[in-house]
Structure 1
Amino acid sequence: MDLHQGALMLLGPTMNPKVAFELSERLPHLGLRIKEHCHRALTYATRMKKLGFKVIYPGLDDHPDHSTLKSLANKDYGFGGILCVDMETEERANRFMNLLQNYAQFGFMAVSLGYHETLMSISGSSTSSEMNAQEKALAGISPGLVRMSIGYSGTLEQKWSQLEKALSRMQDTNLFQKH
């Protein structure tokens, strides 16, 4: 087989049978996981916004595309499971993520955002690091923009308590001024 030509090159080789089986076992409850993923993201975005944090999430009424997305989205699944918190500077964003991971055990710093645990990254210094400052500004990516893919392990309130613990510590250290 030539991996560099034809259908195999375009479509890729076949998946390992064990991996294919394991994926097929997870499909029946995918809808339940996605609903919880989206529900938690909306809950955390709403609560963080009420606390005065700069949150970007399409499920919030003040998001510029909220009404468009609301008209298109399946109401049972919401607006997605990824939200952004603008911590303004990379230093604050790194401190925030360090507290979330190492102090509050809320989630993990990562480069990829697909997992059942909460994962987070600083877009400006990771996935968008190849963009120049002007391109980042046009895209709305501040140096302290933290993207969070909200996980669904533990209970919603247990994980919110962990998030609050990190937010409280962040405010106690005067590294973050609320908006």
Structure 2
Amino acid sequence: MEKNKKIVVYGSILSFLIASALFVYTVYASNMLSYLSSDPKACINCHTMNSAYATWEKSSHKNVAGCVDCHLPVGDAVAKYKAKAIDGWNHSVAFTLNTYKNNIHISDDGASRVQANCVRCHASENATLKMNADKYHSEEVGSLENGRKCWECHKFVPHGKVRSLTSTPYNLGVKEKE
């Protein structure tokens, strides 16, 4: 009976070490820790986001706003990392199961976050538009208050006109400087 206990103990230790090694390898291979940062390059660890990165990199927003500035809640660390975890999970499932399309569409929750961040960053422009609504918006078009999103008019900012996994110009990924 003593020999069986040793086998169980050694087997348990070996199983734990193998599981730990696989976990460490997964963290390393997936660049998992990079997702805790605000570096836009973290968003292209998965090649499906290369078109979004390539078009953002050529945009007017490149020097003032990174991916997390537009796509995640600002000011509340818990909400930010919760959104990051949910989006990361959804992205990894879609990538692993190959259920995404060539033209990636933002979720309703993601669109709400982006809209809130557009309004937050461009508050002075929004105030001007509201004061001069009769000059900039007709009654037919409406205003931000009735559910329109900023990108309904500014749809090519910051991700450009042509954007899909197969047709984005300069979508060759990021090359590290040598």
Normalised to the residue count of structure 1, the TM-score between the two structures is 0.27
TM-score by length of 2: 0.27
More helix by share: 2
Identify which of structures 1 and 2 has the higher relative contact order when contacts are C-alpha pairs closer than 8 Å and 6+ apart.
Answer: 2
